Amino acid sequence: MLTQWNFMKVVFGGNWMKTHQKVYKLASSFLQYPQKEWITNLSELKQEMNKMKDSSVNAYLNSFIHYLETTPFRELCEKYVKTFDFHGIACLNLTYHVFKDSRERGQALVKLRQLFKESELMIESDELPDYLPLILEFLAIADEKHAKRILKLHLNSIKKLEERLSEKKSPYHFLIKATVDVSSEIMNNKNAS
């Protein structure tokens, strides 16, 4: 039986979510084009973040929250476009960095779509399956087996993205670094709760 999930519709928080799931959900949301509702919900998000046990991940997320709190909304939007637009610092489509627009990229996209399908979670999104916020949203709800398969394919690309963003001193590197840390824990079979 397939379970449908709408991209960006997974509810954040709650006792059922483990730390890595919360990190994936937060990063997935904040790697989208900025929304004014983020600013109004920051105190609620900070409360949920403070429940997480991983202090380094908390520090990364709080650094990004600080950026949101101290940057005017219009500037947040401009910086997002300069960072992630097609000719920006980085691209959120992970296979693009590896394959550009080659035939191999098409094959990688088909393989990724097949992995999503095998998880019995059906994606409702117009985004390509290698779009990082979509992948992170998937990781927030997927079982460990499917999460590890996705991470095995894309964790190195996510790490390279974090390095690029860090080199350019982009505050988005805090989000990616938090996801890299929890992903590394999962791949090393540590308890990610």
CB 95 within 8 A of CB 109: yes
pTM of structure: 0.86
What pLDDT is recorded for position 5? 40
| Over residues 86-96, mean pLDDT | 82
Can you read off the two tokens belonging to residue 100?
Answer: 């550009």
Can you read off the two tokens belonging to residue 63?
Answer: 């650094």
- Per-residue pLDDT tens digits for 155-177: 999 999 999 999 999 999 999 99
CA distances from 81 to 7, 91, 111, 145, 161 (A): 21, 11, 29, 34, 16
Q: How far apart are CA 75 and CA 115, in angstroms?
A: 37
Residue 192: band (very low, low, confident or very high) from pLDDT cuts 50, 70, 90: very low
- Per-residue pLDDT tens digits for 42-68: 888 888 888 888 899 999 999 999 999
Four-CA torsion 48, 46, 184, 130, nearest 10 degrees: 100
Q: How far apart are CA 190 and CA 193, in angstroms?
A: 9
Can you read off the two tokens belonging to residue 161?
Answer: 């993205």
CB 106 within 8 A of CB 5: no
What pLDDT is recorded for position 13? 52
CB 140 within 8 A of CB 18: no
- CATH code of the domain occupying 3-7+16-187: 1.10.3480
